[in-house]
Amino acid sequence: MATTSEFTDSVLKHTACLRDAISTIDHSKHKIALVTDEANRLVGTVTDGDVRRALLAGNGMDTPVTEFMYRRPVTMPASGSREESERTARRREIHKIPVVDDSGRLVGLHIVEGRKTGIDADNWVVLMAGGLGKRLHPLTENAPKPLLAVGERPLLETIVDRLVEQGFRKIYFSVRYKAEMVKAHFGNGESWAADFRYLHEPEPLGTGGALGLLPERPTHPFVVMNADLLTKINLDQFLEFHGESGSMATMAVRDYEFEIPYGVVTTDGDRISAIEEKPVQQIFVNAGIYAFDPAALDHVEPGQRLDMPDLFTRLIAADKKTSAFPIREYWIDVGRMEDYHRANDEFEGEFG
């Protein structure tokens, strides 16, 4: 059982907001917020998944934590045994159990060791690195887009470094345009203490169709990621969210705002019921990062072009559950010249 000094950084007062919950989870050792009232009684918990779901629901950073916290967390009494908590954890498929006294006051946090959460060596990554990069001409005339320098090093090198740092050990590169340059730069992964392999697209197959080139089926959920993204997404949390959701496929999404440059008129028949001048619309857009269960590959036809949105459409049509995971970390698609320059300007501050 964790001692007092090991869980206090997870404590969050019930008067806190979404912004405070994110900060607590990010800085706590156990990546959970334990919400307490004035008497230090446990009133709820907040995980990263709860935060992402709150963002999907449109909650702002000032939303009170009491509006999205989990109000009925599993707890164990201070007098309880480790064996009891282990049985509870296995039955409920959880690995963090708050410990409370007879008055409901928080006195500890029990961590069930050895339970699988997030990344392990059996989770693969497929990086889509075969595009022509036409929007970045003339820079991509002599090098593929993933090898363009961002922050004085190839963009794809930063991506790979972060993947390896987060625990991935088997990475496939889907390549086509100037494929030999990518292979020459990364080799077999020995320099990264990882296993790098290559999927050669004979013709453009799309981000979904390239999965049909995998020589064998993965045994665990795997990540697919565009190779022109600069991001600090926590893929451990991404895979944990995917597993908890029970989805066959999860798409990372970004919040996107745009202003309609006109007055928007709402009507009821021919009657004007409201006028809103230049409203700002908020939507979620595809962020180019995905998690799949191996069974999703049943919906990919080898050798056939398939874009990722179409794969999700197929899964939805087949009544397979798909989920959205909102990215709250730094993210930029380095696909346009203005974004390429912005990525270089911001690189040192974010990744230096």
CATH value at residue 341: 3.90.550.10
Domain final residue, candidates 111, 138, 166: 111
Is residue 255 situated within a structural domain?
yes
Claim to verify: residue 133 and residue 100 sit in the same structural domain: no
Claim to verify: residue 259 and residue 311 sit in the same structural domain: yes
| Token code pair at residue 215 | 């020589």
**CA–CA separation, 199 and 211 (whole Å):** 9
Claim to verify: residue 130 and residue 106 sit in the same structural domain: no
Is residue 259 situated within a structural domain?
yes
| Helical packing angle, 18-27 and 48-56, nearest 10° | 150
Claim to verify: residue 167 and residue 269 sit in the same structural domain: yes
Q: Determine the pLDDT at residue 180.
A: 96
Q: Determine the pLDDT at residue 114.
A: 56
Q: Determine the pLDDT at residue 6.
A: 82
Is residue 116 situated within a structural domain?
no
Claim to verify: residue 45 and residue 144 sit in the same structural domain: no
In angstroms, how far apart are the furthest CA atoms of the chain? 70
Is residue 117 situated within a structural domain?
no
Claim to verify: residue 83 and residue 145 sit in the same structural domain: no
Q: Which amino acid is at 338?
A: E
Q: Determine the pLDDT at residue 3.
A: 45
Is residue 295 situated within a structural domain?
yes
- Report in angstroms the alpha-carbon separations of 164 from 158, 235, 236, 256, 276: 10, 11, 12, 29, 49
Is residue 252 situated within a structural domain?
yes
Is residue 118 situated within a structural domain?
no
Q: Which residues of the chain fall below pLDDT 70?
A: 1-5, 82, 85, 89-90, 92-93, 113-118
Q: Determine the pLDDT at residue 66.
A: 97
Claim to verify: residue 264 and residue 155 sit in the same structural domain: yes
Claim to verify: residue 128 and residue 227 sit in the same structural domain: yes
Task: Look at residue 270 and give its three-state secondary structure.
Answer: coil
| CATH number of the domain bearing residue 95 | 3.10.580.10
Helix (H) or strand (E) holding 223: strand 222-226
Claim to verify: residue 30 and residue 178 sit in the same structural domain: no
Claim to verify: residue 211 and residue 270 sit in the same structural domain: yes
Q: Determine the pLDDT at residue 133.
A: 87
* Structural domain total, the chain: 2
Domain final residue, candidates 85, 111, 137: 111
Domain final residue, candidates 50, 78, 111: 111
Q: Residue 254: give the domain boundaries.
A: 124-351
Q: Determine the pLDDT at residue 347.
A: 96
**CA–CA separation, 169 and 284 (whole Å):** 31
| b/e per residue 141-154 (b: at least 16 CB within 10 A) | eebbbbbbebbeeb
Q: Determine the pLDDT at residue 89.
A: 66
Claim to verify: residue 138 and residue 61 sit in the same structural domain: no
Is residue 119 situated within a structural domain?
no
Claim to verify: residue 106 and residue 128 sit in the same structural domain: no
